[in-house]
Chains A and B, each alone.
Chain A
Amino acid sequence: MNLVDKQLVQRRRKKRLFSNRIMRQIFFSASVFGIVVLAVLLYRIFREGLPYLDIDFLTSFASRFPEEAGIKAAITGSVWLMAVTAPVSVVLGVGTAIYLEEYAKENMFTRFIRMNISNLAGVPSVVFGLLGLTVFVRLMEMGRSIIAGGFTMSLLILPIIVVASQEAIRAIPNSQYEASYAMGATKWQTIRRVVLPAALPGILTGGILALSRAIGETAPLLMIGALSFIAYLPENIWSGFTVLPIQIFNWTARPQEEFHLVASTGIIILLFILLLMNSVAVLIRHKFSKRY
């Protein structure tokens, strides 16, 4: 007794193969959509922004006149901001990761920290801006300074660094620990001489990617009051400052068409810096992959 109607199956098969082919094309187009958007975006920005890109642009301050406008203060401000954010966020992030992976006992507090970190990763950046504005700028009286901005950014990217460092530490095989302990090394000696060196590439990669997020972040800095029009360079971490994305925002928000072109030029610089950072991250990841 045959319950399966072979002819029906045969007839249906043509239709099924056809929809397989069509949907494959549709799925493919969806995947390529991203590439198309990226291409259009880059094409537009380079076509508009390249003519303004010269040494003067890099060495001039912002200006009311598009052709004189430059990005010197913004680049310097971004560098200053990174000089604060990088050490603070990396020390805190790696420290948290080491605590969670090496020292933490499996208890309520540890579980709370874990849940807390994954929730912090999903908090919108404006909320971090509100925190920075209230706690650093007002409560701690840091004012609208680089250090207030740097601290805010550090907290914003902390979850990214923690997760990346945790993964890097977890990837170290147990045999490495055993080898170190078997020679009489203490826990801290093992962490310092075995764990950290082995996890370093992963930590660096995660750190650079987190910093590249920070360097493009606009909203929290706008909120803690980074300036958008300054004609001097910061002198120390208490100075007022502007950064690349804020400068770009400022130019974008102006109604004059010419400033949009200048904004494109600024975006080229920003994207170039991001490309540079990401290339370094990829290089590190590539160089140190598959060591065990």
Chain B
Amino acid sequence: MTVNIKRMINEKKANRRFLSILEKTVPAFFLLCASISVLTTIGITLTLLVETVTFFNRISIIEFLTGTEWWPFGENASYGILPLITGTLLITAIAMLVALPTGLASAIYLSEFAPGNVRKVVKPVLEVLAGIPTIVYGFFALTFVTPMLQLFIKDLPIFNALSPGIVVGIMIIPMIASLSEDAMSSVPDSMREGALALGSTRLEVALKVVVPAALSGIIASFLLGVSRAIGETMIVSVAAGSTPTLTTDVTQSIQTMTGYIVQVTLGDASYGSTTYYSIYAVGMTLFVFTLLMNLLAQYISGRFKEEY
């Protein structure tokens, strides 16, 4: 018994029409999928722009950008965003003070010193830390870090900038560590060998050869870390309080841009009120800040990419 495969394939020729239609429609479907991400960006930009314009029709943009008081409720509302910005930057600064040294040191250790078995333990732990939801970190800041700090700093209020700042830093460590380590790992071994063969110690190899060679990647990881810290929401909502204060005192209660947005959407600011529109103006400011950081990070890691 012989099966004529050729004939069977030819009999299926009727399907060919269907197939050729499929060949044309399928790419269109995928293009549609890809367009969603573009639509998302357009959506974000339009949403923020339109509602922010509405807000600026009521409050002057000068007052918004230069006012030093943020009190969006009641009769004597005032919308000066500076306290929210300083609050955000204060948290970011504390976070980076924690995350930069620790993250970079971990990256150097993992890339230049760690024996295989230590790497096998530390790397997954960092991944786990990176996967913990921010609300859990917020809980940790409020119920553990703040009480611990209160042991050392007398009169530290429950809500302060220091505790969430530190915890945001802890949250960012894995990101800086793994991105910096990626950058360092891509420095070819021949450079390490060259330096070692000249009698360098491991430390000198790391600091004088590997880190300078991987610098663009490391700086990019710092900038992405800053962007994450600026955009972090739950930790500051839970532990930083909600009193917008123009201050650099880390023991005071402050409010960040993200914290304010959440506070308003949680409360019952009525749709259409100035307070309601203010979250878009704040959101716009936040979006511009993080976008600048991200673009700068992309520019640096693309522009200064080392060719080995």
- Chain A residues in contact with chain B, CB under 8 A? 16-17, 19-20, 23-24, 26-28, 30-35, 37-38, 40-41, 44-45, 91-96, 98-100, 102-104, 112-113, 115-120, 122-131, 133-135, 138, 155, 158-159, 162, 186-189, 191, 209, 212-213, 215-219, 222-223, 225, 245, 248-249, 252-253, 260, 263-264, 267, 270-271, 274, 278
Asked if residues A40 and B40 are in contact (CB atoms below 8 Å), the reply is no
B37 to chain A, nearest CB (A): 5
Besides A24-B202, A124-B232, 16 new A-B residue pairs in contact (Cβ under 8 A), listed by A number = A34-B106, A35-B121, A96-B33, A99-B34, A102-B30, A112-B38, A122-B291, A135-B47, A159-B37, A186-B19, A186-B23, A216-B134, A216-B135, A218-B134, A263-B139, A267-B136
Q: Among residues 103 to 150 in chain B, which have CB atoms less than 8 Å away from a CB atom of chain A?
A: 105-106, 108-110, 113-114, 118, 121-122, 125-126, 128-129, 131-136, 138-140, 142-144
Is A34 in contact with B233, judged by CB distance below 8 angstroms? no
Contact assessment for B129 and A37 in the assembled complex, using a CB-CB cutoff below 8 Å: yes
Chain B residues in 8 Å Cβ range of A125:
231, 233
Main SS class of interface, B: helix
Task: Tell me the complex Cα distance, A258–B118, Å.
Answer: 39
Bound CA–CA A30/B179 (angstroms): 16
Contact A27 B113 (CB under 8 A): yes
CB B193 to nearest CB in A, in angstroms, measures: 17
From A134, A158, A188, A278, give the contact of B37 (CB < 8 A): A158
* Closest residue on chain A to residue B280 by CB atoms: A130
Judge whether B41 is part of the interface by a CB distance below 8 angstroms.
Answer: yes
The interface residues of chain B lying within 8 Å CB-to-CB of A124 are 230-233, 258, 286-287, 290
Residues 212-244 of B, flagged 1 when their CB comes within 8 A of A and 0 if not, give 000000000000100100111110011000000
For residue A235, give the distance in angstroms from its CB to the closest CB of chain B: 25
Residues of B with C-beta under 8 A to A188 = 19, 22-23, 26
Please state if B105 and A31 are interface contacts (CB–CB under 8 Å): yes
Cα separation A223 to B47 with both chains bound (whole Å): 15
Say which one of B76-84, B184-192, B261-269 lies at the interface with A: B261-269
Question: Which of A95, A131, A134 is the one whose CB lies under 8 Å from B34?
Answer: A95
Q: How many residues of B contact A (CB 8 A)?
A: 83
Bound Cα distance A171, B71 (Å):
54
> A interface, by DSSP: helix, strand, loop or mixed?
helix
Q: How far is the CA of A38 from the CA of B136 in the complex (A)?
A: 11
A selection of 27 A-B contacts at a CB cut-off of 8 Å is: A19-B203, A30-B109, A31-B122, A34-B125, A34-B126, A45-B136, A95-B33, A95-B34, A96-B36, A99-B31, A103-B30, A115-B298, A120-B40, A122-B291, A125-B233, A126-B283, A127-B283, A155-B36, A159-B37, A188-B26, A218-B133, A222-B262, A223-B262, A223-B265, A245-B234, A248-B136, A274-B132
Identify the 5 closest CB pairs spanning chains A and B, nearest first: A124-B231, A216-B133, A95-B33, A30-B105, A27-B109
What's the least CB distance linking A97 to chain B, in Å? Answer: 9
* Max chain A Cβ within 10 angstroms of own Cβ: one of B30, B31, B279: B30
Contact check, B30 vs A126: say whether CB atoms are below 8 A apart: no
CB neighbours (8 Å) of B48 from chain A are 127, 130
B201 at the interface (CB under 8 A from A): yes
Q: Cβ of A44 and Cβ of B143 under 8 Å apart?
A: yes
Tell me if B153 counts as interface (CB < 8 A to partner A): no
Which residues from chain B contact A274 at a C-beta distance below 8 Å? Answer: 131-133
Residues of A within 8 A of B32 (CB): 95
